[in-house]
Amino acid sequence: MLNPKTDEQDSVTCGFAPMQALGTSFRTPLKFESRPWGDVKKAYTHFKNGDVLMAKVTPCFENGKAGIAANLPNGIGAGSSEFFVIRPSTGIDARYLLGWLSTEAFRKRAALAMTGSVGLKRVPKDLLQTEVIPVAPAAEQKRIADKLDTVLTRVDAVNTRLARVAPLLKRFRQSVLAAATSGRLTEDWRKTRTGASALEYQSIELTIPYAHAVTAPKTWTAMRFDQAIDLVGGSQPPKAVFSDVELDGYVRLIQIRDYKSDKYKTHIPRELARRFCSSSDVMIGRYGPPIFQILRGLEGAYNVALMKAVPRQDIYSNDYLFYFLQKPDLLRYVEAGSDRTAGQDGVNKDHLIKYPVFAPPIEEQTEIVRRVETLFAFADRLEVRLAQAQTAATRLTPALLAKAFRGELVPQDPNDEPAADLLRRLAQAPAAASPRKGRRAASAAV
């Protein structure tokens, strides 16, 4: 039965479930809050314990929002008008039906059949009324549903564990940068070259806002940010001179968006370009979110949203500077002291130049860069393997569902009541759809 109605006293407590209460992964329990039936019986979809709910509107349908109503107060509930509510007939396991509605094949058909304007499309009711599903014997339906519960719980656990890896890799990189820019990463290197004294550290207690004490080896030179690094701002030529293609005498105008995508390419006359960067230069994104992006590998003129970080008097190599500017403490300092420009968070240059820095000897900078790049390459390889594992894991659920409805997930039992007998009872029930028999497990409309 599709979208059944419930008749109950207004004072009876029920479960109320808006769209956000419906999960996006297979068999996620439906969340709800208790409300009087009289408050929600109008303008909302009705359902009861055991009903299958499915979002019909984009993007909720595409996100896989579907589930089974259970443990509702007094067994009844109401929710979003964008739910389809399907009440399984006697002999149809709700979990089995939810499995079919979650298959990749059904969802592709439903997505193609969606009607409405762009951004607000819905699965038509007619699709569900005419959808034909394979009906296994009742006992086999339960075995399939039980097996799906077991294996898909494991799949969910795998996906949860995999989702934890990316934040760990991010923290790993931050720890590497913190160790590199404090001298901890090269303690052994300094000891082999200059002896145990190279393991002694110095600390600067900061009086500037939003900053903590900065510590570094005694062999490193302490100075202020603006004593070590020049910040060269870009310029913004009039947009009237912009060109989407490179013409004679034109150069590419580098913008922050160019770092993430090669889709947008803007060119300007060379004579209007005041500042240039090469692929080895270290660039800082001035506006966010996120602010203080540290970029490299860009070539051309750059606009006001970027500034070039230029080390003074060979204090830093560009390679070391690229990693130094990404240190977590410096990013937090910049974010805390950011200002608002044209409605955006921006780097407060006067605040940034007060930050204290330490300059390692150039030879040690080379070793730091080598070690950081080695460790980052290791993290990159792990990210590739993580992406491969996540891709494989996302294919497990649709593959298992497809296998279930091909009759391959659980063994068949010759002692089960034939599916044809179940279909005959369904056909004789009021408002039941006419069955269509298949080879082994017959089929019936939802």
| Element of type H or E holding 16 | strand 13-17
78 three-state secondary structure: strand
Among 278, 373, 285, 273, which residue's Cα sits nearest to residue 325? 285
Instruction: Look at residue 394 and tell me if it is in a domain.
Output: no
Measured distance CA(425)–CA(137) in Å, rounded: 12
Q: Position of tokens 């056909």? A: 427
What pLDDT was estimated at residue 431? 54
Judged by phi (left if over 0) then psi (alpha if -120 to 50, else beta), residue 354 lies in: alpha
Buried b (16+ CB within 10 A) or exposed e, 40-50: bbeebbbbbee
Contact 138, 287 (CB under 8 A): no
| Interval 315-343: pLDDT, tens | 999 999 999 999 999 999 999 988 876 66
Among 375, 373, 378, 359, which residue's Cα sits nearest to residue 183? 359
Domain boundary among 130, 146, 179: 130
Instruction: Look at residue 263 and tell me if it is in a domain.
Output: yes
CATH number of the domain that residue 94 is part of: 3.90.220.20
| Interval 128-142: pLDDT, tens | 999 888 999 999 999
Same domain, 229 and 118: no
| DSSP letter (8 states) at residue 2 | B
Q: Looking at 248-347, list the stretches that DSSP marks H as alpha helix, in order from N- to C-terminal side.
A: 256-260, 318-324, 328-336
Same domain, 118 and 18: yes
pTM of the model: 0.78
Same domain, 124 and 227: no
Domain boundary among 111, 130, 149: 130
Three-state secondary structure string covering the chain? CECCCCCCCCCCEEEEECHHHCCCCCCCCCCCEEEEHHHHCCCCEEEECCCEEEECECCCCCCCCEEECCCCHHHEEEECCCEEEECCCCCCCHHHHHHHHCCHHHHHHHHHHCEEECCEEECCHHHHHHCEEECCCHHHHHHHHHHHHHHHHHHHHHHHHHHHHHHHHHHHHHHHHHHHHHCHHHHHHHHHHHCHHHHCEEEECCCCCCCCCEEEECCCEEEEHHHHEEEEECCCCCHHHCECCCCCCEEEEECHHHHHCCCCCEEEEHHHCCCEECCCCEEEECECCCCCCEECCCCEEECCCEEEEEECCCCCCHHHHHHHCCCHHHHHHHHHCCEEECCEEECCHHHHCCCEEEECCHHHHHHHHHHHHHHHHHHHHHHHHHHHHHHHHHHHHHHHHHHHCCCCCCCCCCCCCCHHHHHHHHHHCCCCCCCECCCCCCEEEC
Instruction: Look at residue 328 and tell me if it is in a domain.
Output: yes
Instruction: Look at residue 301 and tell me if it is in a domain.
Output: yes
Same domain, 237 and 116: no
Which domain covers residue 247, as residue numbers?
221-359
Among 305, 306, 301, which residue's Cα sits nearest to residue 241? 301
Instruction: Look at residue 295 and tell me if it is in a domain.
Output: yes
Contact 53, 79 (CB under 8 A): yes
Domain boundary among 98, 130, 162: 130
Same domain, 126 and 226: no
Contact 81, 20 (CB under 8 A): no
Alpha-carbon distance values, 416 to 139, 140, 402 (Å): 6, 7, 22
The total of structural domains in the chain comes to 2
Can you read off the two tokens belonging to residue 239?
A: 């947009």
Instruction: Look at residue 370 and tell me if it is in a domain.
Output: no
Instruction: Look at residue 156 and tell me if it is in a domain.
Output: no
Can you read off the two tokens belonging to residue 66?
A: 């579907």
pLDDT in tens, the chain (446 residues): 899 999 999 999 999 999 999 998 877 889 999 999 999 999 899 999 999 999 999 999 999 999 999 999 999 999 999 999 999 998 999 999 999 999 999 999 999 999 998 778 999 999 999 988 899 999 999 999 999 999 999 999 999 999 999 999 999 999 999 999 999 999 999 988 877 666 788 888 777 778 778 889 999 999 999 999 999 998 888 888 888 888 898 988 888 776 666 666 788 898 888 889 999 999 999 887 888 999 998 888 888 889 999 999 889 999 999 999 999 999 999 999 888 766 678 899 999 999 999 999 999 999 999 999 999 999 999 999 999 999 999 999 999 999 999 999 999 889 988 888 888 888 877 654 433 433 344 444 44
Residue 8's Cβ-count burial label (10 Å; 0-12, 13-18, 19+) is: middle
Instruction: Look at residue 169 and tell me if it is in a domain.
Output: no
Measured distance CA(55)–CA(84) in Å, rounded: 6
